[in-house]
Amino acid sequence: MTKLTLGAHPFLLGFEQLERLVERTAKSGNEGYPPYNIEQTSETSYRITLAVAGFSISDLAITVEDNQLVIRGRQQDDDEGRLFLHRGIAARQFQRSFVLADGVDVGEAIMENGLLHVDLNRQVPESVVQTIQIRRK
């Protein structure tokens, strides 16, 4: 019995890239830090919120690479001359990746009370009906 992958299904023409996209997402290395929420704010918009307490705006970078939203955080090491009796707040770097569908654009990013909000907007394509003429040979 032959294993049929999603991208090779005969009714899904032109979706070969979908399987590669799923594999890339699985390998993105997202661990549980920092915690985040994804909410739908309207019919065509979403908001990703990351808890980035301790990070300043200059410690964060947001990029879109091949339909993948990547949010990176790297804190500057300012521990020189400090003696910690207990250190429970980790100053570690992170990278969070989110795959964006075609037509989803990144809007604005807002930092508020230790939360980073990234707004996404989905463009609704117009419905197009195309009639194909059949000719005789």
Domain coordinates in residue numbering, the chain: 1-30, 31-79+86-122
3-state secondary structure of 119: strand
Banded pLDDT at 78 (limits 50, 70, 90): confident
Residue 89 has pLDDT above 80, yes or no: no
Q: Average pLDDT for residues 51-55, to the nearest whole number? A: 91
**Type and span of the H or E element at 42:** strand 36-42
- 0.75 exceeded by pTM: no
Q: Which residue has the higher pLDDT, 115 or 66?
A: 115
For the chain, give the percent of residues with pLDDT over 70.
Answer: 83
Q: Which residue has the higher pLDDT, 109 or 80?
A: 109
Fold (CATH) for 31-79+86-122: Immunoglobulin-like (2.60.40)
* 49 vs 64: CA distance, rounded Å: 16
* 119 to 4, 38, 44, 98: CA distances (angstroms): 36, 10, 11, 13
* 51 to 68, 77, 126: CA distances (angstroms): 20, 20, 36
Q: Which two tokens stand for residue 65?
A: 């690479």
Dihedral sign for Cα 46, 50, 55, 60, please.
negative
Q: Which residue has the higher pLDDT, 112 or 7?
A: 112
Q: Which residue has the higher pLDDT, 131 or 29?
A: 131
